[in-house]
Amino acid sequence: MKDNLLWSLSFSVGSNSIPILPGDPFLHLGSCFAEVLGKEMAVLGWPSLTSPLGIAYNPLSILQQLQYITGMQRLSEKDLFQAEEQWKHYDFHSSLARPNREESMQCIQSSILKVRVFLENCSYAVITLGTSIVHELKETGQTVNNRHKQAAHLFQARFLSISEIVEALGKIQSILLEQFQLKQIIWTVSPVRHVRSGLIENNRSKARLLVALEKVTEGIPRQEYFPSYELLIDVLRDHRFYASDLVHPSKEAEKWIIDQFVASNFSSEAQGAWSDLVRLHKLAAHLPMNHASSVVRNHHQKVSDLTKELRTKYPWITVSES
């Protein structure tokens, strides 16, 4: 990757004012980078919870999720609707939908409770904003997080104003930093372009998010901005760092951006723990080409031994010894 960046712009991310310590639990909310980082943490065994109520692309929908978690917004059966033989809710992902209305309610309520319990001992929240374009139900004016493939004529799209975004982010800050007493919120903007809205509209949308985040993070304690947007758009500008759709980052780009996140936000001890977990994951994934039973047994024993060693060193890791 280093050679690939030979002709890139030089860019210093900087260091977090509140460095992450080994085992600090993370909540990941929002759009793509939160998903990418959260899944990587889960794979390695770092304590984390990722998008438990589904991906949320805009600030209002992220705020709504947190308001459900705190009880500021109540879940009601009347807000569920039936589509594709499933009972769905416009504020939650379709993975929480069920064929039975009561089961769908129970599934959503269980997920909300899961996040509430996790937040009681959570240290950091990584929140990724994807867009400042929201979709509202024409009938009620309700901002929806997920349109669930319903007819386009039921919704109207509009840009959130910068002041609306700032207000929503301020409420998110209050919930996470005051009510749940997290150490810090790490904000970031998804570099994934929302091409369905149009490229010009996408750029205007991202610009609103960036300006709003400047207003709520500059000089304010327990807030940090991580430039995942700038790292992909301005540093990894070559098409080889994008997936085949030319919109999402490639796996190589995702890994490099995660490496920048760890280097800039983790303490030296936490970086050491991260490296150990990466080493374990690589060992477990590197299956021997020789399928002889003794060779396979030896490989599994090495993985088991290293897992036990790291679980002794880091009791908080969430990987199994088996």
pLDDT, tens digit, for every residue of 114-133?
A: 999 999 999 999 999 999 99
SS (H, E, C) 146-172: CCCCCCHHHEEEEECCHHHHHHHHHHH
pLDDT, tens digit, for every residue of 239-281?
A: 888 888 888 888 999 999 999 999 999 999 999 999 999 999 9
Task: Supply the mean pLDDT for the chain.
Answer: 92
What pLDDT is attached to residue 249?
Answer: 87
Determine the average pLDDT of the residues in 103-109: 96
pLDDT, tens digit, for every residue of 194-249?
A: 888 899 999 999 999 999 999 999 888 999 999 999 999 998 888 888 888 888 88
The CATH number of 21-131+163-266, from 2.40.50, 2.60.120, 3.40.50, 1.10.3470, is 3.40.50
DSSP for residue 296: H
Q: DSSP letters along 93-160, please?
A: -GGG-BSSHHHHHHHHHHHHHHHHHHHTT--EEEEEE--SEEEEETTT--EES--TT--GGGEEEEEP
What is the distance between the alpha carbons of residues 278 and 43, in angstroms, rounded to a whole number? 9
Boundaries of every domain in the chain: 21-131+163-266, 268-322
